[in-house]
Structure 1
Amino acid sequence: MSRLPPELLIHVIDALRDCSSFPDQIRRRTLRSLCLTSHFLRELAIPLLYSSIRITLPGRFEELSRSPYVPEHLTSISVADHNTWGPRFLGYIPLVCSVLEHARHKLHTVILDLPLRAVMPEDDVENVKQQLRHTLESLPALTTLVSCRDELFLRTERELQGFGMIPGNWMTMTQLRRLSLYNPDVDQEFTDACLSLPHLEAVVVHNADMPGADAGPLTALVTANNPAGLPLTVTYICDYPEVLARDDLSYVHELAKRHPNFRVIGTPKEVLDHERNTTQDWIRGLAETGMLSQLQTEPRIDAA
């Protein structure tokens, strides 16, 4: 192997790149094997192996939190959990935070598919959901945040007023350019929080709760400008055709007709026909491959 010209070895590594920022398992195994082949190939493969990591809880968080390659190379991470609920799940949050903090100076993309909303406030005795919030806020390079199963209203001080959450001014990740959340209330608080982010360019909301007959908050979001002076890109993805057909939400479709930067997308039928959690898996897959942003530039899908 050492007799092969360096240019050919570099082509070997380049051939392992794909359109996704997250290498699949076959490519990751190949990269790990190349790391054992020679020092030269190891130096070429390590950045690819550690730049984007997809991990399912409980995963290798303790190992990653100690790895010298994580702070040097990790720029994108996707964290998922489908098998742990309730208080047991909370025990993994500090491990997630430890890896995020370890990579904090270069980490620009965080994709979370976690059952945060399944945890009742009284179960979070260690306040670890708030720890996750503070960790996300502390990442200076964070520009893309995707939450596939939660709206990330992680403020706990006001959670127990009645049965609802009172988010307050919850969004302080000021470097964010792209934000995707599951099931947020698109009300005035949400709009104000988004518009307080000075660099925000695109917002995706999946199964958002739109206030019936109150077009104000959504209109303010859709008509806002991004830092370049262009309209903020807003995408509303909905799993339920009956919701999109509601008379009191007709203003949503009217906004989409008047503003090309606002798109209303019905989740594809082939996704809906699969078993539970598939729509969140679909969103995560789009985010990992970079297609979630492309949904905002392709021809509009007519929903309803």
Structure 2
Amino acid sequence: MLLFLPLPLELVLHTIHCLLPSGSTSIHHPSSPITKALLSFTLVCHETRRVALKLLRQHCVHLSPGERLRSFLLAIPTCPDLRTTSSLFLAPYNTPTIDDQPTAIWIRELFYFSNTHLRRLVMDMPLRSLIPENDHLDVRHILQAGFASLENLEEFVSVQDDLFLEPEVNGHGFPTWRHWPKLKHLALYQAKTDFIFWWSVARMPMPERLVLTRAVIEIENVKTILFEHADMAARRRLEIKFIGNNKEYNLSAMGAQLTWEEDIYPEEKIEMRGYKWRSEGGCGTSGACRVAVGEWAQLGKLWNINGLKPQH
């Protein structure tokens, strides 16, 4: 007769934690084996449920499409621990435009509920599909209020644009991410890197890494702006990476300020690098870049990418 002895609880809990590497910042899709395994552990016993739910809130809140966002918010009254979600992937729009006031309100409420605990946000939303002149339902203002409330955010990735929400005056506007005092890691797509952009980067209290994919280069004296407007004595090392290809990124035109080669500034406070992204299909289309950056962001590997420097 075979006897099946239960495993010690400590061993079971250790198994749960081993599903995710120590220090992991990944965000897993609902179909991921890790997500499914954690959901299974919520059914074993009270203690495994507690640990698994905590890890689910940290690594498996994937709100895409919009139906998941609405279901998540409707569950908060009966599951208040959902407010403690610390990492989030958000892609709630089922159409190519954000001109949808109800969805904008849902997003704003999500951020109001979670802004105390939310630390990492990967967003895939077509914000530039609605310009201010056509925003008759005040959608952009609703979204901007929600994003501005994320005062504890430490990592932010925008897969489709540069978080285009702030009103512009004479073609210029201050970025929404300037409202986030604890922001350390920032990744944007096709950001317009003008004076206001670099001034805003310089004034960030805690920046460590900046990843710019297919950025629109509009200014050359980057080093001057960063050093003149930042408190370099109190700042940790800032690493800036540009992702693109030679045709769209004539970075050498920025002179001594930035080239494709590694450029480390005095006291190693600022490091700038340009990378030619090599992936299947290359970075010749905007879709290829967005897919690649979005996948790396969800895997938690975007901040440590090692691209290939092009040959001169």
* RMSD (Å) for aligned C-alpha atoms: 3.0
The aligned counterpart of 2:17 is 14
The CA deviation string for residues 127-168 of structure 1, in whole angstroms up to 9 with x for no partner, is: 222222222221231111111111113123x47x6xxx4314
From 51, 68, 82, give the equivalent of 1:70: 82
- Counterparts of 1:275 and 1:253 in 2: how far apart (Å)? 23
Q: In the alignment, is the contact (CA less than 8 A) between 1:198 and 1:227 conserved in 2? A: no
- Other-structure match for 2:246: 241
Contact preservation (8 Å) 2:97, 2:130: yes
User: Do structure 1's residue 5 and structure 2's residue 8 form an aligned pair?
Assistant: yes
Q: C-alpha distance in 2, partners of 1:278/1:82?
A: 20
Runs of at least 5 residues in structure 1 that lack an aligned partner in the other structure:
none
The answer to whether the 8 A contact 2:98-2:129 is kept is no
Q: If the length of structure 2 is used for normalisation, what is the TM-score?
A: 0.81
Over 3 Å counting, the alpha-carbon distance change for 1:225 and 1:183 in structure 2 is farther
Tell me: CA distance 1:225–1:57, structure 2 relative to 1, closer, same or farther (3 Å).
farther
Cα distance between partner residues in 2 of 1:217 and 1:245 = 15
Provide, for residues 65-116 of structure 1, a one-character-per-residue CA deviation record: whole Å limited to 9, x for no partner. Answer: 22412123x1111112574122555542222222222111110111111111
Note if contact 1:90-1:124 (Cα within 8 Å) is conserved in structure 2: no
Secondary structure of 2:259 counterpart: helix
Residue 44 of structure 1: SS of its match in structure 2? helix
- SS of the residue corresponding to residue 142 of structure 1 reads coil
Task: State, as a whole percentage, how many aligned pairs show the same letter.
Answer: 21
Report if the CA contact (8 A) 2:189-2:215 is conserved. Answer: yes
158, 163, 172: which one aligns with 1:166: 172
Q: Mind listing any 5+ residue stretches in structure 2 that lack a counterpart?
A: none
Contact 1:34 1:45 in 2 (8 A): yes
Q: Letter of the aligned partner of 1:149 in structure 2?
A: Q
CA contact (8 A) 1:186 1:217 kept: no
CA offsets, 1:158-199, max 9 Å, x none?
47x6xxx43146522222111111111211111111112212
Check whether the contact 2:220–2:255 (CA below 8 A) recurs between aligned residues: no
Change (3 A) 1:83 1:194: same
Which residue matches 1:29?
36
The answer for the alignment partner of 1:191 in structure 2 is 198
Matched residues in 2 for 1:5 and 1:169: separation? 52
Q: TM-score, normalised by structure 1?
A: 0.83
